[in-house]
Amino acid sequence: MIIQKQNGKVVPVKSSGREKFKMVAKTMMGLEEILAEELRGCGAENIECGSRAVTFEGDMRVLYRANYTCRTALAILKPFAEFEANNEQQLYDQVYQIRWEKILDVDCTFMIDSVTSGDIFTHSYYAALKTKDAIVDRFRRNFGQRPTIDTETPDYKFNLHIRDNQVTLLINSSGDSLHKRGYRQAVGIAPINEVLAAGLIKLTGWKCDTNFYDPMCGSGTLVIEAAMMANNIPAQYYRGGKFAFKRWKEFNLGEWKSVKEQEDRKIGAGDYDCEIWGNDIDMQVLQQAEKNLEFTKLHKDVMLFCGSFEDQDPPEGKTLIVTNPPYGERIKIEDLNAMYEQLGDTFKKKYGENCEVWLITSDFEAMKHIGLKPSKKIPLLNGQLDCRFLKFELYEGSKKASKL
Ligand SMILES: C[S@@+](CC[C@H](N)C(=O)[O-])C[C@H]1O[C@@H](n2cnc3c(N)ncnc32)[C@H](O)[C@@H]1O
């Protein structure tokens, strides 16, 4: 169901599976363009990049496909009400008007995430509380019962966006964040977020036509994401079909199955011809990588090595190296500067011209010790950490000071 505003009123509009509607895909800072490209591949139209979000249009099949395949999306949201509110009472009244019983059942659970900006709604928490009150009051008055709040594992997640007096309510079609791919059986101390890992690989422009190597692979996120890409495995193949849209009243099982089958048929179709390698100094963390790989059945696609990065040669031939070394935040290294210097030396001495190296770090001081000048610096966030994703092209005499 779509609810539109007409003449200032909130009006529900029934949507068939093929009707197009607006959606918002959430992502991480710096990955918006990459996600826009992925959405284009899902058949999305009128795509526009925002800040950590991409808006687009499509029908329910596009919504299913975006959820199932987009590697750089955190969630796909569907706006269902837009109206103006100049104070809390107006917000309450407008939310109360929405026919929530068409969306929710009385015995379900829900939660509201809110983001507000402007001078009217200065506390996002209170705006969410007012919205929640209006929903439960409507249920209580009409049905004598009300759905309950669950902030951990709710059946329905809503997003409340208020900019000045413009209110938008969106329903989250994904449920759990899409970085939860379902393949993590074990984690290291500092695993990289799966969406960020996929985004890093896509930012390099890798077409699965060169080898891929992560010399500090930890529990294997980057090599698993690379192997999934090389095998055309949909991003949520291992999620066990857990999506919030399946609870929607308009959910169409036949359409969902057909989208899923179409995507699953592409698995392995790429017939890639490259090596995917991971290396780590810590055997325990490598065993976790192995567990994750076994779960995905990609253990034959990825070779794992145990040792310090400087002792391990990369695969022969053209190789893309993408790595997420310790930043000194969660993994403490005695002398991080020395470690980065060693990394730079290894790039120059061991990797050579056949390799293109990309590295993400938040430690700008240690980075200066790598002794190479990056040819690209992409600002990204890893959690709350301000990071740079740096590209090094290796060639004879590439030893110049790194400047961030
Ligand atoms: C930030 S973590 C990488 C996390 C990984 N991307 C993941 O998703 O699990 C950094 C990794 O570098 C490894 N490491 C530290 N020093 C190393 C060295 N000298 N050689 C190889 N690996 C090293 C650590 O064991 C750790 O697993």
Pocket test for ligand 1, best of 213, 223, 280 (most atoms within 8 A of CB): 280
pTM value? 0.92
> Could you write out the DSSP letters of every residue in 195-236?
HHHHHHHHHHT--S-SEEEETT-TT-HHHHHHHHHHTT--TT
Look at the alpha carbons of 20, 21, 26, 29 in this order and tell me if their dihedral is positive or negative: positive
* pLDDT at 331 (0 to 100): 61
Q: CA-to-CA distance for 279 and 303, rounded, in angstroms?
A: 8
**378 beta partners:** 389
**Which pair of structure tokens corresponds to residue 262?**
């179409």
* pLDDT at 367 (0 to 100): 92
Q: What residues of the chain score a pLDDT lower than 50? A: 1-4, 6-14, 399-404
* 151 CA from centroid of ligand 1 (Å): 33
E runs forming strands in 225-314 = 276-280, 302-306
* pLDDT at 12 (0 to 100): 42
Residue nearest to atom 18 of ligand 1 (CA): 308
CATH tag, 194-233+269-393: 3.40.50.150
| Number of other residues whose CB lies within 10 A of the CB of residue 392 | 24
* pLDDT at 44 (0 to 100): 98
Q: Would you say 217 and 304 are in contact if contact means Cβ atoms under 8 Å apart?
A: yes
Q: Residue 169 corresponds to which amino acid?
A: L
Residue nearest to atom 27 of ligand 1 (CA): 218
What is the atom index within ligand 1 of the atom nearest the CA of 192? 8
* pLDDT at 3 (0 to 100): 46
Query: Which residues of the chain are in CATH 3.40.50.150 domains?
Result: 194-233+269-393
What is the atom index within ligand 1 of the atom nearest the CA of 288? 9
Q: Would you say 46 and 56 are in contact if contact means Cβ atoms under 8 Å apart?
A: yes
| Number of other residues whose CB lies within 10 A of the CB of residue 246 | 13
What is the atom index within ligand 1 of the atom nearest the CA of 218? 27
Burial of 141: CB neighbours in 10 Å, binned 0-12, 13-18, 19+: exposed
Helix (H, G, I), strand (E, B) or coil at 189: coil
**Which pair of structure tokens corresponds to residue 46?**
């009128």
* 236 CA from centroid of ligand 1 (Å): 25
* pLDDT at 104 (0 to 100): 92
What is the atom index within ligand 1 of the atom nearest the CA of 219? 9
* 321 CA from centroid of ligand 1 (Å): 14
Q: Would you say 108 and 136 are in contact if contact means Cβ atoms under 8 Å apart?
A: no
Q: CA-to-CA distance for 331 and 28, rounded, in angstroms?
A: 23
Helix (H, G, I), strand (E, B) or coil at 102: helix
* 256 CA from centroid of ligand 1 (Å): 39
Residue nearest to atom 20 of ligand 1 (CA): 308
What is the atom index within ligand 1 of the atom nearest the CA of 308? 20
* pLDDT at 249 (0 to 100): 85
**13 beta partners:** 2
Q: CA-to-CA distance for 303 and 294, rounded, in angstroms?
A: 12
* 325 CA from centroid of ligand 1 (Å): 6
> In sequence order, which residues have a C-beta less than 8 Å from that of residue 364 and are 6 or more positions away?
388, 404
* pLDDT at 401 (0 to 100): 43
Q: Would you say 364 and 12 are in contact if contact means Cβ atoms under 8 Å apart?
A: no
Buried b vs exposed e over 198-208: b needs ≥16 C-beta within 10 Å? bbbbbbbebeb
Q: CA-to-CA distance for 257 and 383, rounded, in angstroms?
A: 34
* pLDDT at 398 (0 to 100): 52
**24 beta partners:** 55, 77
Which residues have C-beta atoms less than 6 Å from ligand 1? 188, 190-192, 216-219, 221-222, 280-282, 285, 308-309, 324-326, 331
* 377 CA from centroid of ligand 1 (Å): 21
> In sequence order, which residues have a C-beta less than 8 Å from that of residue 334 and are 6 or more positions away?
none
Q: Give the closest residue to 98 by CA, choosing from 167, 185, 176.
A: 167
Class of domain 2-172: alpha beta
Pocket test for ligand 1, best of 216, 228, 282, 361 (most atoms within 8 A of CB): 216
* pLDDT at 394 (0 to 100): 86
* 343 CA from centroid of ligand 1 (Å): 12
